[in-house]
Structure 1
Amino acid sequence: MQHTDGTHTTRDGSPQDARQIRALWAEMARGWAAGDAALFAANFTQDCDFTTVRGDKPPGRAGIEAGHDALFKGPYAGTVLDARVVAIRHLGPDLATVEAESTVSTPDGEPLTTTHALAVVERTAEHPWLIRAFHNMIPARRAGAADADDVKEPTADGATARPKLRHLAIVARDPEKLAEFYTSVFAMELFHRDPDGSCFLSDGYLSLALIKHQLDGDTPVGMNHFGFHIADTAATSEALTAAGTPEPAERFTDRPFAEYRAMDPEGNWFDLSEHGFGGPRPPSGTDDRA
């Protein structure tokens, strides 16, 4: 069944069920606009299995509220969430899956990032419907069966393939102008903006972060760091410490997409990520850099 708002529902869900399920995403958008993390999190069950685009898993409703409170007071302060339910599939009278798309924009309507989510909603005694599980993802923008950043290639002895250089970061005075240069000249794709103006691009294989230079900071303009997509953080950490470099440190940042920061023997920074650096997927079968 297709509703007047474009939402599709299948099996035995009633129009009232569809309205109540869509209302969950409307309430999330309302909580986001108000900077009210408790209102945002109230749409999830107490023990909701929530996964962010970076692979983080906050513990239930309390973790969702705490994480979004930090976002609303920090990098996403004053932003607006446009949440759209795309499809609802009823698995039974009290259980359904939901596909939804969300765009975060600045107050003047400039899109910062778009995500796609697959959720499981459940009819509960606490509320007609609540979100039981929620997995947020950055959608692919190019055709292709698999993202090269997500593929762990086997070697002859069964181990995963060697780490791949997949990320470069430049501190820029004007990230938007530089992003326009790389998109127009080299056909790179802009797939994410930070609220401070930092831009993230990809050629389908390697992500390029153009980080906004802060006038009151000590970080110089120019090349800042690079990043490896790895299969096993623990094994890589062991190899780094065996080579005499410091153990990788967890990155406490809201920027996508790497989990750890390390350095080589001369102090050059690089990131380590098991889940990849985001961006559009490459065309199938064209990864000649593997």
Structure 2
Amino acid sequence: MTTAETHAIHALWETMARAWASADAALFASVFSPDCDFTTVRGDKPPGRAGIAAGHDRLFRTQYASTRLEARIVAVRHLRPDLATVEAESTILTAAGAPLATTHALAVAERTATGDWHLTAFHNMIPAIPKETAAVPQPTESEQARPKLRHLAIVAKDPEKLAAFYTSVFSMELFHRDPDGSCFLSDGHLSLALIKHRLDGDTPLGMNHFGFHVTDTEATSAALVEAGTDKPAERFTDRPFAEYRAMDPEGNWFDLSAHGFGGPRPPSTPDET
């Protein structure tokens, strides 16, 4: 593979970054093939280039409005003169340069009959947190299956100020920001969402909801219905967090998630699946 072809592959990510900065979903999607196999961090699979464009148009108009994308190609592996795999990392930044989210992608780049390069497959992931290899006690099957309280959410007037308090006093780690100023922290076990209070909204300040990490959302939903509560509702959101919202018999909200609530974990903690 020539230097020009390698540059052409790098140009695909440069186009994505340029399109993101101008909120041009069509331009962003143009680097993907019409039938691209695209997978989001949540496991969703938009249908080809059209689905990629529609999904990013929604993101550019909502939670990622006025943001920009920094993309870094980590490695290119040339399989054939017209085919390569690409590892890349991307960080979404606010207009002021504050990081909102970082993703890792594995993509397949292919040269078309006209000589242009495009992406025929793209799998987006949240980067793994490196863990030490020290031996630790392994949880039993019953311990693994037990739902775990892993999330709290507070509605705050000033999430940034509150985040600074929890990071400085309790050494929590800020791992995500929303464009509206909401901040997400973790102590390695539990994530704390500091949700920006809206003056035009009805949500009061203070504790808002909590969340359980479960192994099987369907089984947990069935157990909740059997216990007399409403069936949990699916949360349609682009955040890579909880999939379902439920309510206990006294009306307290809580989330259910099989993939977890994000944030770093302590190195000595076994995987929780």
TM exceeds 0.5? yes
Residue 121 (structure 2) pairs with residue 133 (structure 1):
yes
Gaps of 5+ in 2: none
Partner residue in 2 for 1:63:
51
**What is the CA distance between 1:141 and its match in structure 2?**
4.7
Residue 160 (structure 2) pairs with residue 176 (structure 1):
yes
Alignment of 1:106-117 (within 5 A): 106-117=94-105
**What is the CA distance between 1:17 and its match in structure 2?**
1.7
Partner residue in 1 for 2:219:
235
From 264, 269, 273, the equivalent of 1:286 is 269
**What is the CA distance between 1:94 and its match in structure 2?**
2.4
Cα separation, 2, equivalents of 1:138 and 1:44 = 20
**What is the CA distance between 1:139 and its match in structure 2?**
2.1
Partner residue in 1 for 2:246:
262
Cα separation, 1, equivalents of 2:113 and 2:197 = 50
**What is the CA distance between 1:137 and its match in structure 2?**
2.0
Alignment of 1:98-113 (within 5 A): 98-113=86-101
Partner residue in 2 for 1:96:
84
**What is the CA distance between 1:160 and its match in structure 2?**
5.8
C-alpha RMSD of matched pairs (Å)? 2.3
Give the match's secondary structure for 1:136: strand
Which amino acid counterpart does residue 117 of structure 1 have in structure 2?
A: A
Partner residue in 2 for 1:155:
141
Moved over 6 A (4+): none
Cα separation, 2, equivalents of 1:217 and 1:264 = 23
From 75, 79, 91, the equivalent of 1:87 is 75
User: Could you tell which deviates more after superposition, 75-84 or 107-116?
Assistant: 107-116
Q: Is the 8 A contact 2:38 2:122 kept in 1?
A: yes
**What is the CA distance between 1:255 and its match in structure 2?**
3.6
User: Could you tell which deviates more after superposition, 85-94 or 204-213?
Assistant: 85-94
Cα separation, 2, equivalents of 1:154 and 1:101 = 35
Q: Is the 8 A contact 2:144 2:272 kept in 1?
A: no
Q: Residue by residue, what CA displacement relative to the aligned partner does 1:67-88 show, whole Å, maximum 9, x if unpaired?
A: 1000111111111111111111
Q: Is the 8 A contact 1:226 1:271 kept in 2?
A: yes
Q: Residue by residue, what CA displacement relative to the aligned partner does 1:253-288 show, whole Å, maximum 9, x if unpaired?
A: 3344111111111111111111111112320x3359
Q: Is the 8 A contact 1:144 1:281 kept in 2?
A: no
Residue 196 (structure 2) pairs with residue 212 (structure 1):
yes
Give the structure-1-normalised TM-score.
0.86
Q: Is the 8 A contact 2:146 2:214 kept in 1?
A: yes
Give the match's secondary structure for 1:286: coil
Residue 127 (structure 2) pairs with residue 143 (structure 1):
no
